[in-house]
Amino acid sequence: MTTNLFDLTGKIALVTGASRGIGEEIAKLLAEQGAHVIVSSRKLEDCEGVVGGIRSAGGSAQALACHVGRVDDILLAFQTIRSQHGRLDILVNNAGANPYFGHVLDTDLAAFEKTVEVNLRGYFFMSVEAGKLMRDNGGGAIVNTASVNALQPGDKQAIYSITKAAVVNMTRAFAKECGPLGIRVNALLPGLTKTRFAGALFEDQETYDRWLSKIPLRRHAEPREMAGTVLYLVSGAASYTNGECIVVDGGLTI
């Protein structure tokens, strides 16, 4: 008898920033493996488009609007999840903000605050609320989308890089304290990936060429190429993987 270690049948999964890019591909793949996926982003209509695609492919999904930069939105989202499902098995913190691309000395307060609110405070309180639900139901899995910028700060991306470095240590902190509760917490660190979010890197040809020259595979990634690592981390295949930060960058950081 063959055991499918990646089977997520019966699992309830919440993916933030799932209306496009890496988040959308993660949501689709988790649904393909049997999970009921709660597709979340700021705009409900964008989420509903992804949900429609998942359902058309035979999967199970629902849309849920939530701005993770607002704690009130987070609390309301988890009230909804608790009342509708009574539990949460998987959280993928994928929503992100990177409003400023320029020299660190020109970073203004608004850009700083928005980046921290979404990338750090948002991830933290999403994990806290998810962790409470998981604790009450015997465990679960959390995956945070960080970045290779957490290891090597990106040029003209100082505050974004700083928050992603914090996400790496936050992942380990939650893994250490929540492991005894049966909650595994890990992170994905994508390299150069073709998304609207990373648009500034692709629009600046000099920057793009510089990145490409450092990648042994000599190409950028497509969003779907990030989803498989997340599937591993939330599945039974990773039942003893906790506190890990997996780099998926085509060899950039070698």
Q: Which tokens go with 136?
A: 């009450």
How far apart are the C-alpha atoms of 75 and 237, rounded to whole Å? 31
Residue 138 burial by Cβ neighbours in a 10 Å radius (0-12, 13-18, 19+)? exposed
At 221 the three-state DSSP class reads strand
Residue 144 pairs with which residues in a beta bridge?
93, 187
Q: Which residue has the tokens 């699992």?
A: 11
- Residue for token pair 């919440």: 14
Report the candidate in 10, 183, 12 with the shortest Cα–Cα distance to residue 86.
12
Q: How far is residue 246's CA from residue 210's CA, in Å, rounded to a whole number?
A: 23
Task: Assign residue 145 a region (left: φ > 0; alpha: ψ between -120 and 50; beta: otherwise).
Answer: beta
Q: How far apart are CA 25 and CA 188, in angstroms?
A: 14
DSSP for 100-151, written as a single string: --S-GGG--HHHHHHHHIIIIIIHHHHHHHHHHHHHHTT-EEEEEE--GGGT
Phi first, then psi, for residue 39 (nearest 5°) are -90, 115
Active site residues: 160
